Structure 1
Amino acid sequence: MNRKLILPLFLVFQLIGLKILSFFPETVERYYSNGFYPPLARISRITLGKIPFSVGDLIYCIAIFFLLRWFWKQRKTWKSQWKSNLLSLLGFVSVFYFFFNLLWAMNYLRVPMYEKLKIEREYTQEELLAFTKLMILKTNSIHSQLVKNDTVKVVLPFNREQIFEKTQNGYDNLAKAFPYLKYEKHSVKPSLLSTPLTYMGFGGYLNPFTNEAQVNNLIPLHNFTTTTGHEMAHQIGIGPESEANFIGYMATIYNDDIYFKYCGYAYALRYCLGNLENFEEGAAEPLLPLIHPGILKNFEETEEFWDSHQTFIDVIFHTFYDNFLKVNQQKDGLEGYSKFVGIMVNYYKNNKL
């Protein structure tokens, strides 16, 4: 057998094996998510957490450089040696995909959060409407505690490093209610690639190879807070984006700091309004007069930030990431981000908002 075929064939076996493993979430939960993964992630965070810059971003930059260098060197051989070059490229993808899954991504296959919480996944438009009204009251109440005038937007009195440090408090409080969500050994950093991330349309990401949570350093601070909570959720083995959104939201509202609580509730409210629009165009519009104008100004700040950086690159990378999630057993793709509303609506049927 041609030695160059080994790694591409291994990629095929990986895809088949992971598909089979997806039918056994309890096995993944026991032996990987609660067995192999936690000490591995802990070691990574202990080793790299104190380093002030993102080691993972640096590794990515080096890897991209050598990949582009390889493409440049092979540019004259793509027609004459296309089979050999294609096998080499697939071999690289095979090795990348193996370590991606070994070091983190098998968490995609664990027992879903809704099963752990013993709640349903689905909800009606009427249930969402009622829940959104309660969320408006909650967010308005906290907004009134922070500003004297309801037309004033909330400005956080923290810098980004302080947000990293203070987010730990929310996870500490959350772990008292849900011990399996305990977070230890901080390793959260501003991404060295914040500008590219912005034009790609991403607020942050987890580096699965170094277990560093990377947060886009350019996004508005009220978004920076919830994004930090989201990426830290990925670090403790929460794979699906809907679940990371829910845990990030919970860790934010469990924080002792009222500014964090505001960010968490405002974040959830914005998703609720968006999901109402998904049910029926214009369904959220009658609710807007009920929301303090200052909260809407925070929403506008977020929209203006992303709109000002929207390019064709955003579309390309969102399409790529949408399909990447689907390949990794996340059938909802990017829609999974908003699916956390379903977890939230059903969770609060049995818990006080």
Structure 2
Amino acid sequence: MNRKLILPLFLVFQLIGLKILSFFPEVVEHYYSNGFYPPLVRISRITLGKIPFSVGDVLYCIAVFFLLRWFWKQRKTWKMKWKSNLLSFLGFVSVFYFFFNLMWGINYLRIPMYVKLNIEREYTPEELLAFTKLMIVKTNAIHSQLVKNDTVKVVLPFNREQIFEKTQNGYDNLVKAFPYLKYENHSVKPSLLSTPLTYMGFGGYLNPFTNEAQVNNLIPLHNFTTTTGHEMAHQIGIGPESEANFIGYMATIYNDDIYFRYCGYAYALRYCLGNMENFKEGSSEELIPLIHPGILKNFEETEKFWDSHQTFIDVIFHTFYDNFLKVNQQKDGLEGYSKFVGLMVNYYKTNKL
């Protein structure tokens, strides 16, 4: 057999193996997510957590440099040696994908959060409307405690390093109710690639190879809090974006700091309004007058930030990531981000807000 075929064939076997493994979430939960994974990432976070810059970002830059260098060197051979070059590239993808899954990706296949919480996933427009109204009341109340005038937007009195430190408090409180969400060995950093991430349309990401949580250093501070909580959720082995959103939100509202709680509730409210529009266009308009104008100004700040950086690059990377999630058994793709609304609506049917 041609030795160049080995790694591409291994990629096929990986995809088949992961598909089979997806039918056994209890096995993944026991042997990987609560067995192999925790000590592995503990080593990574203890080793790299104290380093002030993102080692993962540096490694990605080096990898991209050598990959582009390889493409450049092979540019004159693509027509004559296209099979050989394609096999070489697929070999690289195969190795990358293997270590991605070994070091984090298998968490996509663990027992879903809705099963652990013993709740449903689906909800009706009526349930969403009732929950959204409840969120408006909660967000308005906290907003009134932070500003003297309801037309004033909330400005966080923290810098980004303080937000990193304070987010731990939310997880420390959250673990009392959910012991399996324990977060230890802090390793959260501002991304060195914040500008590219912004134009790609991402607020942050988890580096699966170093287990560093990277947060886009340019996004508005009230988004920075919830994004930090989201990426820390990925660090403890939460794969699906809907679940990371839900846990990031919960860790934010469980925080002792009232500014964090405001950010969490406002974040959830914004998603609820968006999901109402998904059910029926214009259905959220009747609720807008109920929301303090200052909260809407925070929403507008977020929208202006992303709109001002939207380019074709955003579309390309979102399409790529959407398909990447689907390949990894996340059938909702990027829609998974908003699916956390279903977790919230159903969770609060039996729990107090």
Cα deviation, residue 236, structure 1: 0.1
Return the offset for 1:275: 0.2
Question: How big is the shift at 1:183?
Answer: 0.2
Can you list the C-alpha shifts for 1:241-299, whole angstroms capped at 9, x where unaligned?
00000000000000000000000000000000000000000000000000000000000
How many angstroms does 1:71 deviate by? 0.4
Deviations 1:26-50 (A, max 9, x none): 0000000000001111111000000
How far apart are 1:18 and its partner, in Å? 0.1
> Counterparts of 2:38 and 2:252 in 1: how far apart (Å)?
22
Q: Give the Cα–Cα distance (whole angstroms) in 2 for the partners of residues 302 and 41 of structure 1.
A: 32
Structure 2: how far apart are the matches of 1:44 and 1:146?
38
Q: CA RMSD in A?
A: 0.3
Q: Find the counterpart in structure 2 of residue 67 from structure 1.
A: 67
* Partner deviation per Cα, 1:55-92 (whole Å, 9 max, x = no partner): 00000000000000000100010011111000000000
Matched length: 353
Residue 194 of structure 1: CA displacement? 0.2
Superposition deviation, residue 217 in structure 1: 0.1
Whole-Å separation in 2 of the counterparts to 1:345 and 1:185: 31
Distance (whole Å) between structure 1 residues aligned to residue 141 and residue 256 of structure 2? 16
SS of residue in 2 equivalent to 1:186? coil
TM-score after normalising by structure 1:
1.00
C-alpha displacement of 1:301: 0.1
Q: CA deviation at 1:233?
A: 0.0
Q: State the SS of the aligned residue for 2:175.
A: helix
1:104-155 Cα shifts (integer Å, max 9, x gaps): 0100000000000000000000000000000000000000000000000000
Q: Percent identity?
A: 92
CA distance in 2, matches of 1:64, 1:276: 40
**Uncovered stretches (5+) of structure 1, i.e. residues with no partner:** none
3-state SS, counterpart of residue 294 of structure 1: helix
Distance 1:22 1:140 in 2: 42
Aligned runs of 1:23-102 on 2, under 5 Å? 23-102=23-102
Q: Quote the offset at 1:351 in angstroms.
A: 0.5
Instruction: Quote how far apart the aligned CAs of 1:222 are.
Output: 0.1
Aligned-residue offset at 1:16:
0.1
CA distance in 2, matches of 1:41, 1:176: 22
Whole-Å separation in 2 of the counterparts to 1:64 and 1:309: 23
Task: Determine the C-alpha separation between the residues in 2 that align with 1:116 and 1:42.
Answer: 24
Please give the alpha-carbon distance, in whole angstroms, between the structure 1 residues aligned to 2:167 and 2:194.
20
Q: CA deviation at 1:187?
A: 0.2
Tell me, in whole angstroms, the C-alpha distance in 2 between the residues paired with 1:125 and 1:249: 21
1:4 offset after TM fit, Å?
0.4
Q: 1:217-241: CA deviations, max 9, x gaps?
A: 0000000000000000000000000
**How far did 1:14 drift?**
0.1
SS in structure 2 of the partner of residue 206 of structure 1: strand
Shift of 1:99: 0.2
1:121 is matched with 121
Distance 1:345 1:173 in 2: 21
Asked if 1:180 is matched to 2:204, the reply is no
TM-score (norm 2): 1.00
Q: How far 1:12 moved relative to its partner?
A: 0.2
Is the aligned partner of 1:243 residue 2:243? yes
CA distance in 1, matches of 2:136, 2:329: 34
Equivalent in the alignment of 2:202: 202
Unaligned 5+ residue runs, structure 2?
A: none
CA distance in 2, matches of 1:30, 1:54: 30
Structure 1 CA distance, aligned partners of 2:15 and 2:4?
Answer: 18
